[in-house]
Structure formats: C-alpha cells, structure tokens
C-alpha cells in the first residue's frame, strides 16, 4: 500500500521494520502538501527544510535503538499552537508577522515523543468560524468536493488528513471546531475533557471553552497522539492534575453491555433525513456488537447555541484586547497618537467575523447588560451541564449526529451569521459542560461524509476511543479517501 494511505500506527510499525526511512516518509508527505496546496489551501506555512533535518535526526535515533513512540512520524499543527522560531498566524492579518519565541506545551510534548512538524494548518481567523472561510489566507476547500467548505475552525487540519496529505494533525475545539470539520471531511476527531490537554501556548479565543485535540484517520491513531499530548501542565492554571491512562492499551476492550444514550434533541426536524439514516445504521452496528440503546433527553440542550454565543464572544472580547499594535502583531503605519494606533491597528488587523464577536462580547459584558446576558448565559450553562450529568447516571456514552447536514458550498452562508452559527448546534453542548466528545465517519450522503458523534462523562476519553475503535474494526468508512487523493 502507498505510504500516504497508511495510518499513523501502521507508519510507526513500518518505520521500525525499516520498510522506509523517516526522510522518505517526510519527503513524500511534504511533496503531497506542496502539490495540493493550490487546490485545498490547507496550509499557511510549510516547513520543508526543518522537517527534513528533523527526519534525518529521527533516522539516526531509530538506527541507534533510541526514540519515542512517535519518532520519525510526520504531523501538522493548527496555526494557533505557538511553534518556536516559526510564524504562528492564527489565520489573521493581526498575527501575520508573529514568530513565536517558544513552543506550546502540546507542540513540545509531541516533539519530545519524536513527532516531526511538516507545516502549520490554515484555520478560521482566531478559531472563529464554522466553515474555514474567515481565514486571512483564504478559505480551505473540502477534499471530497473543492467547491464545498471543510468545516471550521480546524478546516486545514481536517482537509489535510482527509486528503491524506498528512497522517495526523493537532486541532482545537471551542464549540465543535474539531468534530464538525472531522465529520465534513470524513476523518476522526477528538476533543478531550476540558483541562486534560494543556492550553499553554495555544492562542486563546474563549478560555473556558477552548480545548486542544487531534484529527486523525482512525481512533487508534487518535489514542496514540492523545496518550502523548495529555497530562498536567503547571504553566496552565486550568490544567487538571490527573494521571493519563494508556489509551492505546484500552482500545480493544469488549463493548458488550455498553449503554448508549440516543439524544432525543439531536434527532429533530433540523437533521437532514439522509444524515439520520447513516447515523441510525451506525447505531445498529453498535447493537450488533452487544451495546444497548436507550433514548435520553437533555431538555436544556436547545439553549446551548444562544448561551454559547454570549459566553464565547464575551471571553473573546477580553482575550483579544491584548492585540493593540504595541507589543506584537500588526501595527498601523504612522499613527497620529496612541488612540489612532489602537484603532487602526485593530481595524486593519482583524477580519469581519472577529470584529463582530468582539463587539458582541463587549456589549454583553458592559454595565447594565452583564446580568441580563453574560450572567444568565452562565446559569444556562450550568443547567446544560446538569442535564448531561443526569443522562450519564443512566448511560455510559451519548451518540448522535455531529452535524445537521453534509458539507455546504463555499459562500452559501457567509452573508447570514445566524445560519452559520447553527452548524454547531449538536457540538456546542459538550464544550459548555467541558465533556470529552469525538466524531467518526459513519457513511456517505451524495458522495459526502457523515459523522457520528460520541460524548462521554468527564475523563472518559478511553471509553470514547474504545467505542470508536470497535466501530472502525467493523466498518471501513474511516479508510475511505476522496478519489483524486488516493
């Protein structure tokens, strides 16, 4: 089989069996990234020379019997993870010239395990978007149909893995930004429990919601990466000091007796009928494997979108106040005075969606509106978290669709922000409650991928990966590749 069609786990075995060298692997994937960049626009920066140098080092380590579990394996990082000496743009003109002086903890951990960074992936500006159309560097395109969006904000990561331009990528999820593009691009994506993966060096959008994770071709690959990048970080005050299980070792646990909750609120009139058929067919596979299905209701879940679009913009307004044209990032030319510097630097540096969310967030935090909007949204957030807690007293995991429809056309929803925001209707609840959740491919509708979402209680990543892996051993949806990229 061609190396680009192999999973990360298979590539690791091949490296150790000396079927190919890390240099050969890295060069092959770099060639694919560069060849398909004009078509997909999935990358912001490609790091050919540093990646090849790292691959040479990896080959020496492997030959000497040294190296970590990821030694010599190529990955890409979403372009909001700080990478030392490399431009980190966050998909924005504001940070177009920012070269990070340090590595994010996620980058450092994966580097320490031996992974080689090939590139920085394109993304919605400051991770704000559901379609990867808000990037300063232009929209990313879906590998299954380049007229369609890949989903956002981690669209570059998902499109690159979906087209097999790279075997795995880091990503982040604030309201569905790992799971939604994973579903639309036909790949596996996991958002861990809030606090499980360090946010240090991850440029912030909404601090109480952002969480780093991965996009891969399979649950087994996701387990491999999550094992290496999870864990306590004293540099992150929201990091949880809790041992990290060996997710790889837990993959093959039997599913018999697993209690699956079907979220009543997900199977509503907004769900595309063909999407629902594919999800129901996937649930039948779980029944065949010995799982038990039970319908559960989260009555406050329909309030997740309005609650999220108060909390997230409020936190974004606060976090993005630091981009003032003084210390780093875009700086307006020849300012008349300090106020002119602030206004023009921010006006020129931020795109329309980021400005919209900053304005919304500033409004809901302002005197007279804080109690009416922000405080109320935080109370609703607690009600949603309580609903999830009650559901998990009855079932082990919750399942349902990841998105209401397959991928839509580029430009179809850019003029209507509210319609765009509703793309995250099934994913936002897990972020508000800080729960782990993942999306796996479960079928095709009109030649486009459909995702099955799995949500679990806090710190149940191992259970989610196990459930996903069991499904992927029975089906081949995760191994389907768009024809032009095979």
Asked whether 380 and 300 are in contact (CB, 8 A), the reply is yes
Known catalytic residue: 112?
no
**Active-site residue, from 22, 78, 120, 230:** 78
**Active-site residue, from 7, 131, 154, 177:** 177
Can you tell me which residue has the tokens 């032009």?
A: 484
Asked whether 152 and 177 are in contact (CB, 8 A), the reply is yes
Known catalytic residue: 78?
yes
- CA 457 to each of CA 97, 386, 434: distance values in angstroms, whole numbers, following the listed order: 40, 12, 9
Known catalytic residue: 297?
no
**Active-site residue, from 7, 92, 153, 154:** 153
Asked whether 142 and 184 are in contact (CB, 8 A), the reply is yes
| In 17-168, alpha helices (H) | 22-40, 48-63, 105-112, 155-162
- CA 17 to each of CA 58, 65, 370, 375: distance values in angstroms, whole numbers, following the listed order: 14, 12, 60, 57
* Residue 46, H or E segment: strand 43-46
What 3-state class would DSSP assign to 296?
Answer: strand
- CA 384 to each of CA 211, 297, 298, 344, 389: distance values in angstroms, whole numbers, following the listed order: 18, 11, 7, 40, 9
357-373 b/e (C-beta count within 10 Å ≥ 16 → b) = bbebbbebbeeeeeeeb
Among candidate residues 66, 53, 67, the one with its CA nearest the CA of residue 117: 53
HSE of 101 in the Cβ direction (CA atoms, 13 Å)?
1
What 3-state class would DSSP assign to 87?
Answer: strand
Instruction: Give CA–CA dist 210/32, Å, rounded.
Output: 30
Which are the contacts of 374, defined by CB distance < 8 A and separation ≥ 6? 310, 311, 314, 364, 365
Catalytic residues: 78, 153, 177
């Amino acid at each position: 089989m061609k190396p680009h069609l192999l999973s990360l786990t298979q590539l690791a075995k091949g490296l150790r069996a000396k079927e190919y060298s890390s240099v050969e692997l890295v060069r092959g994937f770099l060639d694919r990234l560069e060849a398909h960049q004009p078509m997909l626009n999935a990358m912001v920066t490609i790091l050919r020379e540093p990646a090849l140098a790292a691959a040479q080092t990896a080959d020496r380590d492997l030959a000497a019997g040294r190296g970590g579990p990821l030694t010599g394996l190529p990955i890409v990082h979403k372009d909001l993870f700080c990478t030392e000496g490399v431009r980190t743009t966050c998909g924005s003109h504001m940070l177009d010239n920012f070269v990070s002086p340090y590595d994010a903890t996620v980058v450092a951990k994966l580097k320490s395990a031996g992974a080689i960074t090939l590139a920085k992936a394109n993304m919605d500006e400051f991770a704000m978007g559901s379609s990867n159309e808000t990037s300063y560097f232009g929209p990313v395109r879906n590998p299954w149909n380049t007229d369609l969006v890949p989903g956002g904000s981690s669209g570059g990561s998902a499109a690159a893995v979906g087209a097999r331009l790279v075997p795995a990528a880091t990503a982040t999820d604030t309201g569905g930004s790992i799971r939604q593009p994973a579903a639309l691009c036909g790949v596996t994506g996991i958002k861990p429990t809030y606090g499980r993966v360090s946010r240090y060096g991850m440029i912030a959008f909404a601090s109480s919601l952002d969480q780093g994770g991965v996009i891969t071709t399979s649950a087994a690959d996701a387990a491999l990466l999550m094992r290496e990048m999870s864990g306590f970080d004293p540099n992150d005050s929201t990091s949880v000091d809790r041992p990290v299980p060996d997710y790889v070792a837990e993959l093959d646990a039997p599913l018999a007796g697993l209690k699956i909750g079907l979220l009543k609120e997900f199977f509503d009139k907004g769900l595309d009928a063909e999407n629902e058929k594919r999800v129901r067919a996937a649930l039948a596979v779980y029944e065949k494997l010995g799982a038990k299905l039970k319908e559960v209701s989260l009555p406050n879940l329909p309030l997740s979108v309005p609650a999220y679009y108060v909390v997230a913009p409020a936190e974004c307004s606060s976090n993005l106040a630091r981009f003032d044209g003084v210390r780093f990032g875009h700086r307006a030319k020849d300012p008349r005075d300090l106020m002119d510097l602030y206004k023009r630097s921010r006006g020129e540096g931020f795109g329309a969606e980021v400005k919209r969310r900053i304005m919304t967030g500033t409004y809901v935090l302002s005197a007279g509106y804080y109690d009416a909007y922000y405080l109320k949204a935080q109370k609703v957030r607690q009600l949603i978290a309580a609903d999830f807690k009650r559901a998990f007293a009855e079932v082990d995991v919750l399942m349902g669709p990841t998105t209401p429809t397959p991928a839509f056309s580029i430009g179809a929803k850019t003029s209507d922000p509210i319609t765009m925001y509703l793309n995250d209707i099934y994913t936002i609840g897990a972020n508000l409650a800080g729960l782990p959740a993942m999306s796996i491919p479960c079928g095709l509708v009109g030649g486009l991928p459909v995702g099955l979402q799995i949500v679990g209680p806090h710190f149940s990543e191992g259970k989610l990966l196990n459930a996903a892996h069991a499904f992927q051993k029975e089906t081949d949806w995760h191994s389907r590749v768009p024809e032009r990229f095979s």
